[in-house]
Amino acid sequence: MQKFFFLICVFVSFLLSIQAYAAASQKEVWEWITSMDGISKEMSPYMHMSAPAGVTNLQSIPFEPGKRLFRSWITLFKIIPFDYSDLTLESLEEGVGIVEQSPMGSMRSSEILPKAQHKLN
């Protein structure tokens, strides 16, 4: 039992964090992270996140904090639906970040919070 526990600890301690840097303007970065294409590509190539017809980015949708914007289906290979997200924003502040708290079929809430040191200044 001790060996098994040790192996789990070793596996967890070697999880990787990958960061990518690209030459892009603040405007280009903001447009990408708020676009439905950019959001969906975070999960590609295996998963895809849908949006209602005509919705291309989060900035174009008027929202009230804490109210559902729409239901997005999460599919495997753009074919097999296996989960959904009731996309719900708390805030959307250009150049600062998005605070999202969306209920999902598989969990009570998915939360995305901006980190202060990652502000797009």
Average pLDDT over residues 40-63: 87
Nearest alpha carbon to residue 72 among 84, 60, 89, 57? 84
Count the domains in the chain: 1
With respect to residue 1, please indicate whether it lies within any of the assigned structural domains: no
Q: Which pLDDT band, with edges at 50, 70 and 90, does 73 fall under?
A: very high
With respect to residue 31, please indicate whether it lies within any of the assigned structural domains: yes
With respect to residue 14, please indicate whether it lies within any of the assigned structural domains: no
Torsion sign over Cα 52, 56, 58, 62: negative
With respect to residue 3, please indicate whether it lies within any of the assigned structural domains: no
With respect to residue 6, please indicate whether it lies within any of the assigned structural domains: no
With respect to residue 48, please indicate whether it lies within any of the assigned structural domains: yes
Q: Which pLDDT band, with edges at 50, 70 and 90, does 71 fall under?
A: very high
* pLDDT over 70 at 19, yes or no: no
With respect to residue 16, please indicate whether it lies within any of the assigned structural domains: no
Q: Which pLDDT band, with edges at 50, 70 and 90, does 67 fall under?
A: very high
| Domain interval for residue 76 | 25-118
95: left (phi over 0), alpha (psi -120 to 50) or beta: left
> And the tokens for 87?
């996309």
Query: Rounded distance, CA 41 to CA 49, Å?
Result: 8
pLDDT one-digit tens code per residue, 76-101 = 998 999 888 898 888 888 877 788 88
With respect to residue 15, please indicate whether it lies within any of the assigned structural domains: no
Torsion sign over Cα 102, 103, 107, 109: positive
